[in-house]
């Protein structure tokens, strides 16, 4: 009889330990994944897939923009310096034509040169009567700078959208996980930790996933906005120099020279 009493006490002591171990296993990512793929939590599956797509999209555009900014930064100074150091204007334009299509400064310079040549070919016609050389070149430069500035913003809308909405998508998963936990309590008729650990764990993981997706997107967005602001400043400075050169024959601060 003493042995039976001892076995009963041992079993009673082991029961909470087993319950705690089962609850611990239920709050992990593996249990959540099994629940999602089994079809027991379709809303959670939709939230998870949405966060995965958000993460993939933001990572893709961050990598694309990072490589573009690194490539642009490594070529910008060389392209601008070579253009102004070339003594002949035709050679400078030919150098710009040899640049990759993704190089923005060469396209701005080529648009400006084309506008100046077009105005000169139509000198004496209605075009020159409506716009003088300086105004025509200025309009072409504004359009070129606006176009290249807009190209720099490729992908930033996605990063901003992910950064602002991913936490709320994760919050949706959290709310549904809590609802799932309450449903589990109502169905099982018990409120033990092992009964609610799974749904509550899923809710917390969804919150963490939403933040995990949003934080890199926000950091990437701020970084690229800052980088684009610096590049746009260089666009403006280069465009002003181009305007001075093609409108007057020399940049401000340069001695008049024949190119």
Q: What is the pLDDT of residue 11?
A: 40
User: How many domains does the structure of the chain reveal?
Assistant: 1
Residue 18 lies in a domain: no
Give, in order, the Cα–Cα distances in Å from 103 to each of 37, 85, 88, 100, 109: 46, 19, 21, 5, 11
Residue 255 lies in a domain: no
Residue 229 lies in a domain: yes
Residue 100 Rama label (left phi>0; alpha psi -120 to 50; beta): beta
Q: What is the pLDDT of residue 189?
A: 65
Q: What number of CA atoms fall less than 13 Å from residue 129's CA on the CB side?
A: 3
Cβ proximity of 92 and 190 under 8 Å:
no
Distance, in Å, from the CA atom of 203 to the CA atom of 211, rounded to the nearest integer, reads 13
What is the Cα Rg of the chain in Å? Answer: 32
Residue 50 lies in a domain: no
Distance, in Å, from the CA atom of 211 to the CA atom of 167, rounded to the nearest integer, reads 5
Q: What is the pLDDT of residue 7?
A: 46
Residue 12 lies in a domain: no
Q: What is the pLDDT of residue 207?
A: 86
Distance, in Å, from the CA atom of 194 to the CA atom of 23, rounded to the nearest integer, reads 4
Cβ proximity of 67 and 61 under 8 Å:
no
Q: What is the pLDDT of residue 67?
A: 93
Q: What is the pLDDT of residue 17?
A: 44
Residue 103 lies in a domain: yes
Helical residues (DSSP H) of the chain, grouped into ranges: 2-26, 29-37, 42-85, 89-97, 104-121, 126-130, 133-152, 156-188, 193-248
Distance, in Å, from the CA atom of 88 to the CA atom of 8, rounded to the nearest integer, reads 100
Residue 3 lies in a domain: no
| pLDDT tens for the chain, residues 1 to 259 | 444 444 443 444 444 444 455 544 555 556 565 665 666 667 778 888 899 999 999 999 999 999 999 999 888 999 999 999 888 888 888 999 899 888 999 999 999 999 888 878 776 666 555 668 888 889 999 999 999 999 999 999 999 999 999 999 999 888 887 877 777 677 766 666 665 666 677 778 888 889 999 999 999 999 999 999 999 999 999 999 999 888 887 676 655 544 4
What string of H, E and C letters represents the secondary structure of 58-70? HHHHHHHHHHHHH
Give, in order, the Cα–Cα distances in Å from 80 to each of 90, 147, 228: 15, 19, 17
Q: What is the pLDDT of residue 28?
A: 53
Residue 237 lies in a domain: yes
| Token couple for 25 | 């296993």
Is this prediction's pTM over 0.85?
no
| Domain coverage including residue 151 | 56-248
Q: What is the pLDDT of residue 254?
A: 59
Distance, in Å, from the CA atom of 207 to the CA atom of 254, rounded to the nearest integer, reads 60
Output the CA torsion 59→61→62→65 (10° steps): 160
């Amino acid at each position: 009889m003493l042995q039976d009493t001892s076995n009963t006490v041992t079993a009673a002591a082991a029961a909470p330990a087993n319950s705690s171990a089962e609850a611990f296993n239920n709050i992990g990512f593996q249990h959540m994944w099994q629940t999602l793929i089994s079809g027991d939590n379709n809303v959670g599956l939709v939230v998870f897939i949405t966060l995965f797509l958000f993460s993939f999209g933001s990572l893709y555009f961050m990598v694309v923009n990072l490589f573009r900014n690194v490539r642009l930064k490594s070529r910008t100074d060389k392209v601008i310096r070579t253009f102004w150091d070339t003594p002949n204007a035709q050679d400078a334009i030919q150098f710009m034509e040899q640049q990759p299509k993704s190089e923005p400064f060469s396209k701005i310079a080529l648009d400006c040169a084309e506008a100046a040549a077009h105005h000169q070919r139509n000198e004496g016609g209605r075009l020159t009567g409506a716009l003088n050389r300086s105004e025509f070149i200025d309009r072409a430069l504004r359009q070129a700078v606006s176009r290249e500035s807009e190209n720099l913003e490729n992908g930033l809308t996605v990063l901003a959208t992910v950064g602002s909405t991913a936490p709320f998508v994760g919050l949706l998963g959290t709310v549904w996980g809590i609802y799932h936990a309450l449903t589990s309590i109502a169905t099982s008729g018990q409120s033990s930790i092992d009964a609610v650990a799974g749904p509550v764990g899923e809710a917390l993981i969804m919150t963490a996933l939403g933040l995990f997706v949003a934080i890199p997107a926000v950091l990437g967005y701020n970084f690229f906005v800052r980088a684009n602001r610096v590049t746009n400043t260089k666009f403006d400075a280069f465009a002003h120099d181009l305007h001075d050169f093609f409108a007057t024959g020399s940049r401000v601060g340069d001695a008049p020279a024949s190119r």
